[in-house]
Amino acid sequence: MLGLQDRSEPVIMNVSHFFKLDNKLINFTRPQASSFAKSVAGDFNPIHDEDHKRFCVPGDLLFSVFLSQQGVYQEMKFEFSGMVGDSNQVFFTSEDNSAFVLKDENDKNFMRIQIAGDLTQEPEFISQLSEKYVQFSGQTFPHILVPLMKQEGVMINPARPLVIYKNMEITLDKLSGENIELRLTKSILNKNGKKGEARLEFAILADGKEIGHGAKNLLLSGLREYDQSALDEVVDAYDQRKTTYLSC
């Protein structure tokens, strides 16, 4: 757990604190990944708890590590295909001039990154973009997803809430700027029986001017008719986890 400062707001991110690098092999300890989820992203999904039996490294940490190692391209799309655990030793490899893959030594793929356009490796811009995206992404539940489900009259299974991070994409018109911000511009939930796909679109701003845009796509399962009281219990449990963490 980081510091004794007021953690009602996410702390400033230094991604190097949240992974280990040994001869190009990347490893995440459970404390590192769990601390990133809670203290940086404000994400209190139980699957990122150190003692969770299905523990996995947050996708936003994988995103941040890629940017810190490879830089920011004008166009990037991150496709998640597997969950990275603390036992995995992973590395980025270039498929060709248009993609990277995150895989382990057994050739299992966890993430594919499509790239296009110019590249910047300017540390401050990369750090700000990573941090602001992670903090935006961490607000998905409950701040963005709950009002969206209410609007569409459906909800995830409160006994087994399952939301899967499918992919995210970013397009930048400018590869520089300060005071980076991300603002939600549109949220959509498409339903197909008990399954659904949510798309969260956002603008990327520097010094108040738009320099790009992006979207985060999620898969939802076990959809059912919206029940305010049942969903309130899920949100209350989530908020209690956050309160407990912040009080430590």
User: Per residue in 71-94, pLDDT tens?
Assistant: 999 999 999 999 999 999 999 999
Report pLDDT for 94.
94
Task: Give the residue among 243, 10, 218 at the shortest CA–CA distance from 132.
Answer: 10
- For position 9, what pLDDT does the model report? 46
pLDDT confidence of residue 7 = 37
Count structural domains, the chain: 1
Average model confidence (pLDDT) across the chain: 92
163 beta partners: 220
Of the candidates 182, 189, 196, the one whose C-alpha atom is nearest the C-alpha of residue 148 is 189
Query: What was the pLDDT predicted at 247?
Result: 84
CATH classification at residue 186: 3.10.129
Report the pLDDT value the prediction gives residue 159, as an integer from 0 to 100.
Answer: 87
Residue with the larger pLDDT of the pair 7 and 42: 42
161 in any annotated domain:
yes
The DSSP result for 84-138, as a single string, is: --TT--EEEEEEETTEEEEEETT--EEEEEEEEEEEE--HHHHHHHHHHHHHHHT
Give residue 142's pLDDT: 93
Q: Which pLDDT score is estimated for 161?
A: 81
Q: Which amino acid is at 2?
A: L
Asked if residue 10 is part of any domain, the answer here is no
User: What is the percent of the chain with per-residue pLDDT over 90, rounded to a whole number?
Assistant: 87
**What pLDDT does residue 118 have?**
98
Predicted local distance difference test score (pLDDT) of residue 86: 95
The pLDDT tens digits for 132-169 are 999 999 999 999 999 999 999 999 998 888 889 999 99
Q: Which two tokens stand for residue 125?
A: 């811009």
- Does residue 65 sit within a domain? yes
pLDDT of amino acid 11:
45
- Sign, CA dihedral 46-108-201-210, equals positive
Question: What percentage of the chain exceeds 70 in pLDDT?
Answer: 95
Q: How confident is the model at residue 8 (pLDDT cuts 50, 70, 90)?
A: very low
- Indicate if the pLDDT at residue 5 is higher than 60: no
Residue 142, preceding bond cis, omega within 30 degrees?
yes
Please indicate, yes or no, if residue 7 is contained in any of the structural domains.
Answer: no
Residue 3 has pLDDT above 80, yes or no: no
Dist. CA 239–CA 245, nearest whole Å: 10
* 140 is a domain residue: yes
DSSP 140: I
- Checking if the pLDDT of 213 tops 60, the result is yes
Distance (Å, whole) CA 236 – CA 242 = 10
Domain with 173, as residue range(s), is: 15-247
Residue 144 covered by a domain: yes
> Which of 7-16, 82-91, 158-167, 216-225 has the least mean pLDDT?
7-16
d(CA 115, CA 124): 20
d(CA 94, CA 102): 9
Domain for residue 2, yes or no? Answer: no
- 30 burial via Cβ count (<10 Å: 0-12, 13-18, 19+): middle
* pLDDT score recorded for residue 149: 96
Q: Which of 44-53, 93-102, 110-119, 150-159 has the highest mean pLDDT?
A: 110-119
